[in-house]
Amino acid sequence: MKQLIHNAKFYTMKNPGDHVEAVLIEDGKILQMGNYEKLKNETANQLDLKGSYVYPGFVDSHIHLIGHGDKLRYIDLSLFESAETMKEHLKNLFEQRNPQERIVAEGWNENNFPNKKILHRTELDEITTSPLVLKRICRHAMIVNSKALEIAGITKDTPDPSDGVIVRDEFGEPTGYLMDGAQALILEQIPEVSVDQLRTSLEMAAEDLLSLGFTGVHTEDMSYYGNYSKPLEAFQQTFGEHKKFRIHLLRHHLVFDEMIQSASYSEPWIEPGAMKIFIDGALGGRTALLTKPYDDDKSTQGVNIHSQQELNALVAKARSHGEAIAVHAIGDLGMEMIVEAIELHPVPTGKRDRLIHANVLNGNLVSRIEKLDVVLDIQPSFVTSDFPWVRERLGEERLTWAYAWRKLIDRGIVCSGGSDSPIEAVDPRLGMYAAVTRRNPGETHDGYLPEEKLTRFEAISLYTTGSAYAIGKELSRGKIDVNYDADFTVFDRDLFEGTEEQLLEANVVKTIVAGEVMFSNKN
């Protein structure tokens, strides 16, 4: 049945300022658009948006959706500004729960603590004698208590895995601080969650994201909850038939072969995506892989998760199935490695590779990236969460090509935008604000590396045309145009007008997916 949506300013995102006043839709697609007077007689079924402002449906291009739901359900460690306060709240949490329950919480960040303290396993032992796992905000490090180490069989004699580090004290004893691949030794012992638990997290995540204007996400959840079939079943039960919300699933390289051979999806709501690969860690824990040592710790250049040979083999495997890759690479050496692998094994026609984060680059590397069919999947909020401490990590010289969104876009490199939730806040208003101001809300300086600021059109494009481009859907999503999906994010104000601070004050009026109102703000 046809429907006319009108009385709004519909920004098409085809060019800055381009807009129409009405769109006619049918079967989830845009049939016509333009002047209301010319379209009003097409159907009596009309939706009056009462002077709102409409954009193509926002999509978070990098999120861990189950983790986002878990963060909503449990304690959020990112809110604490001292290790001592975090420890006290965790004690209270255990007093309210079954003392035998194993707790996995996310988000602590020692850079937010005045003393930069990382809790020792013995301090976590004071909280509970049950297994306790606290994931760092970057998800590339964790701290655990003695019981968790005992269950995992980690002792003084346990060797470091090839892709991670077991941090030890001066006597060689594990401190409970585990980096990158060493985390797997713990996570393999965490009891598998049920499909019902995963579905509960997904439902909470989706409701939250719809209320923030998101019509879909690109998410990576397939190798953290037991066999991939369990989270996939939770996705299918939640979104396959029951909810209009677009899910693009990245497939971790550990489960990629199996998913290629036997997984089934529920398109167009659940779509299979590229092979996900991790190359390095994160700057906060000094595990991002750099070409030169960290300025504040000359003993390390980061963690190399794969050798060049292993990386080449993974990319070759993806190509053998006609697939693209989506690669976590924060440091410049990690990025050089994946660029070399892509140059050796080019992406198949009709597909597009995705380089995720790309926080630290260099001029030569960018020149090589320009020649590839890739999108850089960036997280604007990383700027506001990583500065000013990241200056100490990298030094001034490397900042020339650090978080360099302006220079990348000026070079014609397409960027998509996401939050990496539960690592960062998922709210797109915060992401857009970070992209155009390069500072935190409430701060008054010119911004961190202010020459890298984006325009508002570019910031909104990250979540619309950029996210569509990242998955090869640029001809059907990301714009308001004929034959495109009828996915719309409706705000109560014009995101292109007013002060930059007003971006934070915009409220979502409605979220529309395939022509159906999936969220409506009752206020």
- Given pLDDT bands bounded at 50, 70 and 90, which one contains residue 100? low
Query: Which of 151, 171, 187 finishes a domain?
Result: 187
Using one digit for the tens of pLDDT, what is the confidence trace for 447-469? Answer: 999 999 999 999 999 999 999 99
Cα separation of 96 and 87, whole Å? 15
Residue 78 lies in a domain: yes
Using one digit for the tens of pLDDT, what is the confidence trace for 354-413? Answer: 999 999 999 999 999 999 999 999 999 999 999 999 999 999 999 999 999 999 999 999
Predicted local confidence at residue 158, as pLDDT = 94
Angle, helix 332-344 to helix 308-320, in steps of 10 degrees: 50
Pair (134, 37) in one structural domain: no
- Torsions phi, psi for 341 (to 5 deg): -65, -40
Residue 79 lies in a domain: yes
Residue 348 lies in a domain: no
CATH number of the domain within which 79 lies: 3.10.310.70
- Torsions phi, psi for 462 (to 5 deg): -55, -40
Pair (50, 94) in one structural domain: no
Tokens of 468: 């569509």
CB of 469 within 8 A of CB of 218? no
Residue 335 lies in a domain: no
Cα separation of 449 and 384, whole Å? 11
How many domains does the chain fold into? 2
Say which amino acid occupies 156: K
3-class SS letters over 10-74: EECCCCCCCEEEEEEEECCEEEEEECHHHHCCCCCCEEEEEEEEEEECEEEEEECHHHHHHHHHC
What is the value of pTM for the model shown?
A: 0.86
Residue of 379, 460, 356, 369 whose CA lies nearest to 412? 369
Residue 489 lies in a domain: yes
CATH number of the domain within which 28 lies: 2.30.40.10
Cα separation of 452 and 454, whole Å? 7
Using one digit for the tens of pLDDT, what is the confidence trace for 322-367? Answer: 999 999 999 999 999 999 999 999 999 999 999 999 999 999 999 9
Q: Is the pLDDT of residue 102 over 70?
A: no
- Given pLDDT bands bounded at 50, 70 and 90, which one contains residue 315? very high
Pair (134, 104) in one structural domain: yes
363 or 189: whose pLDDT is higher? 363
Predicted local confidence at residue 192, as pLDDT = 62
Pair (115, 170) in one structural domain: yes
Using one digit for the tens of pLDDT, what is the confidence trace for 255-273? Answer: 999 999 988 898 999 999 9
- Given pLDDT bands bounded at 50, 70 and 90, which one contains residue 97? low
Tokens of 17: 């300022």
Query: Which of 169, 187, 205 finishes a domain?
Result: 187
Predicted local confidence at residue 495, as pLDDT = 98
Pair (72, 52) in one structural domain: no
For residue 135, the enclosing domain spans 68-187
Using one digit for the tens of pLDDT, what is the confidence trace for 142-152? Answer: 999 999 999 88
Pair (142, 170) in one structural domain: yes
Using one digit for the tens of pLDDT, what is the confidence trace for 201-255? Answer: 999 999 999 999 999 999 999 988 878 999 999 999 999 876 799 999 999 999 9
> To the nearest whole number, what is the mean pLDDT of the chain?
93
Pair (137, 105) in one structural domain: yes
CB of 478 within 8 A of CB of 452? no
Q: Is the pLDDT of residue 76 over 90?
A: no
148-168 b/e (C-beta count within 10 Å ≥ 16 → b): bbebbebeeeeeebebbbbbe
Pair (107, 176) in one structural domain: yes
